[in-house]
Structure 1
Amino acid sequence: MRMRFVRPLLAVLALAGLAACSGTPTPGSTGSATQAPSSAAPSSNAPSSSAPTTSSQPATPGQGNAELSITLLETPEAAPQTFTLVCAGGTPAAESKHPSAAEACATIKNSPAILSPAPTRTDQACTMQYGGPATATVTGAVDGKEVTAAFSRTDGCQIALWDAAKSVLGSDGGL
């Protein structure tokens, strides 16, 4: 008789958990598929006023103008790689020194908020997975707005941010 009530209860709890993980973000929240980079320290859960998300910003194309310096560190033992990305109207300029400049410029034109800072939520749940030691920093300007962003692969949320911006970073994180 007791099992008769336990199974439906477990089913309801499982559905509620799935709904909480895969639902559409509410206004002011962040969903892992629409986030932009976090500039918080990779192992810190403290809020950062310069950690970006894109849920509160419209997903409209930008002008596609960018002047960025990207520093990529694939492993702690490796020497950092530095790329220059210059885009005009979503097209790479001749002075760009980036491994996938055309794709990176297109990403910036289609999603300029991918590098824009916004407040971080401290109550966001992230999967406890490790995507590797790769880190990247991006500084410069996109469509006339200053950009300073840091990327890592220390948990599920950071991996999602990396994956969204990987063409701009010049790496897939060593995967």
Structure 2
Amino acid sequence: MTDTMRRSLVLALASMALLGACASPSGDDGATGPTASSAPTVGAGDAAAGGGISQADYDLQVTVDRGDGTPPEEWTLTCVGFVEGSHPEAEAACTHLTSLEDPFAPLPEDVFCTQQFGGPQTAHVIGRWGGEPVDVQLSRTNGCLISQWDSLGPLLPVPVG
């Protein structure tokens, strides 16, 4: 490799590093539309909302383990004036969740729950809803948790059997 080629390569690498350092930290590439205006940058320490990635105010990732030995399913759901994502009932899930005042409110600590088993299903919902971080573990192991699961309607699958 000649000295001229080495210099050119070093110059090209330095230029790429400089361009990368100048990139917008929010990931804003100048695009317009619903997600550009409603996608605040999530702080790197906010693991519940994706750890430093830009997300919409109504953007969720849902992981469901049906408890039947099949691999967990993962879906995405975005509800910001339009509906998109891999969720199998995205439109119904967005419609239902937006009709609720606070769909991911934690259960009160002093609540008494019936000791019943609603099934082995578990779910984990992370992201943002109403601009607030969401990180909710769900199951069907007592009456309160069954009610919480059921209140989310089409976001979570109806247990079979």
Q: Deviations over 1:109-128 (max 9, x none)?
A: 111511144x7323x22111
- Secondary structure of the residue that 1:159 maps to in structure 2? helix
8 Å CA contact 2:120–2:141 kept in 1: the answer is yes
What residue number does 1:174 align with?
A: 160
8 Å CA contact 1:131–1:153 kept in 2: the answer is yes
- CA RMSD, aligned part only? 2.0
Shift of 1:76: 5.3
For 1:72 and 1:156, how far apart are their aligned partners in 2?
19
Structure 1, unmatched stretches of 5+, are 1-64
For 2:65 and 2:89, how far apart are their aligned partners in 1?
17
- The match for 2:59 among 64, 67, 76 is 67
What residue number does 2:97 align with?
A: 108
Structure 2, unmatched stretches of 5+, are 1-56
What residue number does 1:157 align with?
A: 144
- Secondary structure of the residue that 2:152 maps to in structure 1? helix
Q: Which amino acid aligns with 2:98?
A: K
Q: Deviations over 1:87-112 (max 9, x none)?
A: 113x413xx10011111101221115
For 2:68 and 2:98, how far apart are their aligned partners in 1?
31
Shift of 1:149: 0.6
Identity over aligned pairs, percent: 32
- Secondary structure of the residue that 1:103 maps to in structure 2? helix
Q: Counterparts in 2 of 1:1-175, with a 5 A limit?
A: 66-75=58-67, 77-89=69-81, 91-93=82-84, 96-117=85-106, 120-122=108-110, 124-169=111-156, 171-175=157-161
8 Å CA contact 2:58–2:78 kept in 1: the answer is yes
TM-score by length of 1: 0.55
| Larger-Rg structure | 2
1:142 to 1:112, Cα distance in 2 relative to 1, 3 A:
farther
8 Å CA contact 1:134–1:174 kept in 2: the answer is no
For 1:166 and 1:85, how far apart are their aligned partners in 2?
14
- Over 3 Å off, 4+ runs: none
Structure with the larger RCO, 1 or 2 (CA within 8 Å, 6+ apart):
1
